Structure 1
Amino acid sequence: MPSLTLLRHAKSSWDDTVTRDFDRPLNTRGRRAAVVVGTWMKREGLAFDHIVASPAVRVIETLEGVIEGYGQPIAPDWDKRIYLASSATLLDLVREFPVDCEHALMVGHNPGLEDLVLGLVAETGGSPLRGEVEAKYPTAAVAVLRWDGGWADAREGGATLDRFVRPRDLAEGLGPDD
């Protein structure tokens, strides 16, 4: 049974004067959230044998913070197809994961990640956490999904949502009103 961990990039800075959206960096809260999430991932025993990530600056910086909190290197395959991808494109990527991979991490953007979770997890019976994802999949949030079969068997409504954690669940000062 594969497990797919989906991490949305941490909070980026809209104040930065970069020309392209692709180049937007994290803000201070985002950098802190990335470290906190990495610490949580380590504490929860999450480990990955396949990692794919958008090469956008805010994703790169998110992973730098996650690595700091996780305490071990995380070496992703950078894939431009993840940048602002639809859930259909993300699902195609998941179905391409190596057959021998059991635990994958995908780091990217919304609305694709949120839509992927909502598509893979059934509205009833998939997890009581699904409603939290539906309400909002904020920056630096982590969702962990599982389903029977392999990566090619990922299908609509076929997954369970084991975990959904937001930075505000892990540390004060990382919520939307903080």
Structure 2
Amino acid sequence: MKKLVLIRHAKSDWTNPLLNDFDRPLNKRGLKDAPFMAKLLNKKCLNPDLIISSPSIRTKLTLEYFIKEFKYKESIVFEESIYEAPFENLLRVLSNTDDKYKTIFLIGHNPGLNDLSNFVLNDFKENIPTCGILEIDFDIEFWKDISKENSKLICFEFPKKYI
């Protein structure tokens, strides 16, 4: 059994139109939502064996709240190929992950996270909002075997659900 937790970065700040997309920080709402969602996820007693994150500033800032909340001290992989990438890149990264990892947190962007969830879940057609979290179980031994046939959505959480 493998568990994948997809986390979309928190809301980013667009106030500086000259700032490169990669370098955008979190806005006020993002700074509020990220710690809230980290706490919510931690209450589910999920502990990642590995965290894979886009290296963008907004994903790194979102990640900091999850690291702090989980007191996470294990490996973090900053994977450039998932920055605003198509779901095939995300799938490739997961497929090439060492099978010793049972629970992976993947922090990234849309539309890639949405497309990946649509690819591995039969009936999931929702938009993953900023700081949204999907917990997916796979009845597999090897990450390369991820498919619709062996996946199950456990939960879908997002900040506005609690406002």
TM range (shorter): over 0.9
Whether the aligned pair in 2 keeps the contact of 1:32 and 1:65 (CA below 8 Å) is no
TM-score when scaled to structure 2?
A: 0.92
Whether the aligned pair in 2 keeps the contact of 1:52 and 1:76 (CA below 8 Å) is yes
Once the two structures are superposed, the pairs formed by residues 149-164 of structure 1 within 5 Å of their partners are 149=140, 150-164=142-156
Partner of 2:38: 38
What is the percentage of aligned positions where both structures have the same residue? 31
Unaligned 5+ residue runs, structure 1?
124-129, 173-178
Partner of 2:103: 103
Partner of 2:138: 147
Partner of 1:175: none
TM-score when scaled to structure 1?
A: 0.85
Aligned partner of 1:167 among 133, 143, 159: 159
1:66 and 2:66 are equivalent in the alignment: yes
Once the two structures are superposed, the pairs formed by residues 53-132 of structure 1 within 5 Å of their partners are 53-68=53-68, 70-73=69-72, 76-123=76-123, 130=124
Whether the aligned pair in 1 keeps the contact of 2:90 and 2:116 (CA below 8 Å) is yes
Unaligned 5+ residue runs, structure 2?
none
Aligned partner of 2:128 among 126, 137, 158: 137
Rounded Cα–Cα distance in structure 2 between residues aligned with 1:158 and 1:86: 21
How many positions carry a matched residue from both structures? 161
Whether the aligned pair in 2 keeps the contact of 1:6 and 1:113 (CA below 8 Å) is yes
In structure 2, the residue corresponding to 1:39 is in which secondary structure? helix
Partner of 2:10: 10
Whether the aligned pair in 2 keeps the contact of 1:10 and 1:26 (CA below 8 Å) is yes
Rounded Cα–Cα distance in structure 1 between residues aligned with 2:18 and 2:10: 17
Compute the RMSD of aligned alpha carbons: 1.5
